[in-house]
Structure 1
Amino acid sequence: MSKPFTAWDERALELAVEEVTHGLTRDARDELFARISPGDLEPLEQSAAALNLAGLGQLETPPAALLRRLEADARAHFGPAAKPPATPFHTAEARRPRRWLLAATGWLVAAGLLAAFLLRNLPERAQDSATRRELLVASAPDLVRADWVASADPLAGGVSGDVVWSSARQEGYMRFRDIAQNDPQRNQYQLWIFDQTRDEWEAKPIDGGVFDIGRGAEVVVPIDAKLEVRQAALFAVTLEPPGGVVVSRREHMLATATP
């Protein structure tokens, strides 16, 4: 039976990341497999391969907030009896990086790899949208980001925030500040994505999903695109009847974001 990732000691984790990113010497590999079984490496190797294909060389350094949230999620999921997350999840201020983190490429690969691996193995309840957004920002080489601009509609208020999207992963998130809480029984927010590779793209945007806004200073909402988005030229949020609409009359266009 394989040993869970969270049960590995710090040395095993360090050796495992080195093995899947750069390769170990024979002696180091023997040391690694004295601590874990070869089969334990498979999920980590799969994550490394997937991230490499996605263009890990262009990763940004994952923000400290992401690392702290991942650590908190792991602690909440695995309980007080679990061992603390391994060294790569501590910020630079907390402890000095080890030698395998000193090379820029090694750091990018290891940080993105470990963040993705841990997040993939967390339960759905721990996979909050804010964490997933930060992971996407840290690891998607084709990421586009745009700030929301409030319209002149009185219902728009002072909405601000941003939207991030990766066409390669068909994944994105909206972040809002100062957006009014809605009553789902009366109306709901709906996202529209204008993909300029499609025919009549200005008249027929892609439905990006219906969503509600509760209380909170900052809200992160996952995008639920109903069709493939190849090249987003504009994101727009409207206020629609409950359940959303197929074609918006655009009576209440509250905010737009242009990449």
Structure 2
Amino acid sequence: MRNDFDITASRQRCMGYRRRILEISQQVQALHAAGAFSCLEMVDVIYNGLMRGPGSGNSPDTFVMSKGHGCMAQYVILEELGVLERRDLDLYCKPEGRLGCHPDYGVPGIEASTGSLGHGMGLAIGMAYAERFVHKNDGGVFTVLSDGELQEGSTWECMMMAANLGVDNLVALLDHNGMQSFGNTAETHPKFYPIREKLEAFNWETAEVNGHDADAVYNAVVSRKGGKPFMLIGNTVKGRGVSYMEHGAIWHYRSPNPEEYKQALAELVEICS
């Protein structure tokens, strides 16, 4: 695990990421901006604070964006890291481009094709098992999933098996924004809660923090006890950083119009500075 995370730099990066996502939304009018905004801090912590790369002296870590519709959070970070080119994001969702509205394996930096919810957790657990028990490496696997995705039975089947398989090199971060495509998760599936107690019953180690507090996210992961798969429940706000997007189900799919775009940029300076 790395120990070079800079919270001030993370705040600055995340404001830049939000501006870049908004910029792209004006080019294509077809991306899940609000869902990307809710998980940005957590994905930034993974890439810039936790994951070890090929040159670290250890087996490199792997990231699976199980919440595939939040991939713009991953794309802008990969652009900032130089893995993707600016042209790649400028051609997002265009016929001549290679980036679609969900991650596609084979694109630089993308380890798994996701977006059909319920697949990412199984992929991450399989990768973690292979690292630990097949390749005998110390590589870790990180995954970000959505709370709406927890309504998929396959996700729970995989989480039930994770501790039995001994994949304590798996770190999952739940983007718990309380929303899904057509409304509030608590109203859609009232028996969904409590989440944390269910995970602990499956022998997961858990923690719960403000998912927009990058320092809290980082410290929760690095201070985990180990010996079990780990789930961080990050309580977040869908559309975080833009007032008219926050908590709004309509913004699951919609992009801002030109006037809303100007307002969003003005708010980001105030909210994220």
Q: Same fold (TM over 0.5)?
A: no
TM range (shorter): under 0.3
Task: With the length of structure 1 as denominator, give the TM-score of the two structures.
Answer: 0.26
Point out which structure has higher relative CO (alpha carbons under 8 A, 6+ apart).
2
Greater share of residues in helix: 2
Task: With the length of structure 2 as denominator, give the TM-score of the two structures.
Answer: 0.25
Greater share of residues in strand: 1
Structure with larger Rg: 1
